[in-house]
């Protein structure tokens, strides 16, 4: 799933666990695997991996993910920022293998983690709509909850 969607889910996790930033990080990591186990966009299983096809979308997604992380931090009430950041980092860190492999040719995760990450994937190239819908739903939830908090003072 897009890292942007993982980040937005992590923002909600941090919000729910606002007094427990370490737990927010752990739940964020677990959420990553759970979300990747849901149908989402990606290369088909029957086609070889291609950086040429993957990179342009991953670049946009990475930039959007950083923007989502900045917005998530900015929208979180001050006392919740640590847990929000922890939730977002936990939710996103599992996908750090892709930029690390692309830029440095090295995967920082143990083989067992990489196998699990690969095994849970339910991706197909015709599911971009799922990614966009999930992202819009998560982003609007983050924004609505933040606006509600500000209205309450």
Query: CB of residue 17 vs Zn ion: minimum separation in angstroms?
Result: 21
Structure-token match 């991996």, residue found: 49
Would you say 14 or 65 has its CB closer to Zn ion? 65
Bridge partners, 41 (sequence order):
124
Considering only residues 83-112, where is the footprint of Zn ion by CB under 5 A?
95
Query: CB of residue 85 vs Zn ion: minimum separation in angstroms?
Result: 19
Q: Does 36 bind Zn ion (CB under 5 A)?
A: yes
3-state SS class at 44 = coil
What span, in angstroms and rounded, lies between the C-alpha atoms of 133 and 66?
A: 19
Would you say 36 or 61 has its CB closer to Zn ion? 36
Query: CB of residue 9 vs Zn ion: minimum separation in angstroms?
Result: 12
Bridge partners, 40 (sequence order):
123
Would you say 81 or 98 has its CB closer to Zn ion? 98
Q: Supply 58's token pair.
A: 């991953």
Query: CB of residue 1 vs Zn ion: minimum separation in angstroms?
Result: 6
Q: In this structure, what DSSP letter does residue 50 have?
A: -
Q: In this structure, what DSSP letter does residue 105 have?
A: S
Query: Would you tell me which residues interact with Zn ion (CB under 5 A)?
Result: 36, 95
């Amino acid at each position: 799933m897009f890292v942007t969607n993982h980040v937005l889910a992590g923002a909600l996790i941090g919000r729910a666990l606002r007094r427990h930033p370490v737990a927010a990080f752990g739940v964020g990591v677990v959420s990553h695997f759970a979300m990747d186990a849901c149908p989402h966009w990606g290369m088909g299983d029957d086609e070889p991996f291609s950086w040429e096809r993957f990179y342009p979308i991953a670049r946009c997604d990475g930039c959007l993910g950083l923007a989502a992380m900045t917005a998530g931090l900015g929208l979180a009430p001050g006392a919740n920022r640590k847990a929000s950041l922890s939730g977002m980092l936990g939710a996103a860190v599992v996908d750090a293998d892709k930029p690390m492999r692309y830029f440095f040719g090295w995967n920082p995760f143990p083989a067992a983690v990489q196998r699990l990450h690969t095994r849970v994937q339910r991706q197909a190239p015709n599911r971009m709509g799922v990614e966009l819908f999930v992202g819009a739903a998560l982003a609007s939830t983050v924004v609505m909850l933040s606006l509600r908090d500000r209205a309450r003072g």
